[in-house]
Structure 1
Amino acid sequence: MTTHDIQELKLLFSLFDTDHDGRITQDEIKRLVETVSGYSWTEEQLAAFMKIADIDTSGDITMEEFTVMMNKYVPTSTLGLRDLFNTFDLNDDGFVDKQEFEQVIKEKGKQLNQDQIDIFNKIFQKDKNSKVTYEQFIDGAMEAYKNIKFN
């Protein structure tokens, strides 16, 4: 079985772990699902997900549990990072421009965490075209999260 790249998993884990405490809570999962899909999970769906992911039944998900879950249940071709990027790419052209970014912030700002917003803002400051590609998003996120420690 092919496994996910550990750096990509750390990045994805960091995007879920909005308070950077090294654990993903049910609330953090629920917020990210709502942000990316626009769909709210029921308590039953959330409990079913936690039953699969929370191996030690502690009530939250560690990086180790996250890695096991991702490698066991999620195909390597679909990490979810593209979905997060697509949340901002409203016209589906492969770029997030400032206008799209500002529209998403206006409509979903309360569902996003400041780190996700900061990744785009830093790229916009560097990019003269004011358009962010998926690759720039990944590079920016990797840069933002490279110093985070995992339990």
Structure 2
Amino acid sequence: MADIEKAKAAFARFDADGDGQVTPDEFKRAMAAMGDMYANGPMAEAVLKSKDIDGDGKMSFDEFWASLQK
């Protein structure tokens, strides 16, 4: 089981505009900033789609947290 405070800090690194949602572009930029040379649009969209429970094309903290509980 993940620590919720650590999860919130990790989520904040991806949520660049602080709106509570991570878009594919935010995800791609965060991964590139962490040194992932393979971060691109299709990869970011695929990762978010796998965590996007409500189908809005973005990842909320609740969806992120749920993915950590699996």
1:45 counterpart residue number: 43
| TM-score, structure 2 normalization | 0.86
1:25 Cα shift? 0.9
Residues 68 and 33 of structure 1: CA distance in aligned 2, closer, same or farther (over 3 Å): same
CA contact (8 A) 2:16 2:26 kept: yes
Q: Considering Cα pairs closer than 8 Å and 6+ residues apart, tell me whether 1 or 2 has the greater RCO.
A: 2
CA contact (8 A) 1:30 1:40 kept: no
| TM-score, structure 1 normalization | 0.43
- Partner of 2:69, secondary structure, is helix
How do 1:60-71 and structure 2 match up within 5 A?
Answer: 60-71=58-69
Gaps of 5+ in 2: none
Amino acid of the structure 2 residue aligned with 1:63: F
Whole-Å separation in 2 of the counterparts to 1:43 and 1:30: 6
Q: Identity, % of aligned pairs?
A: 33
Amino acid of the structure 1 residue aligned with 2:53: I
1:4 counterpart residue number: 2
Whole-Å separation in 1 of the counterparts to 2:36 and 2:49: 23
Whole-Å separation in 2 of the counterparts to 1:68 and 1:48: 17
1:69 Cα shift? 1.4
Amino acid of the structure 2 residue aligned with 1:53: K
Spell out structure 1 runs of 4+ moving beyond 3 A. none
Gaps of 5+ in 1: 73-151
CA contact (8 A) 2:49 2:57 kept: no
Whole-Å separation in 1 of the counterparts to 2:50 and 2:36: 22
Larger radius of gyration: 1
2:18 corresponds, among 17, 20, 36, to 20
Whole-Å separation in 2 of the counterparts to 1:24 and 1:46: 10
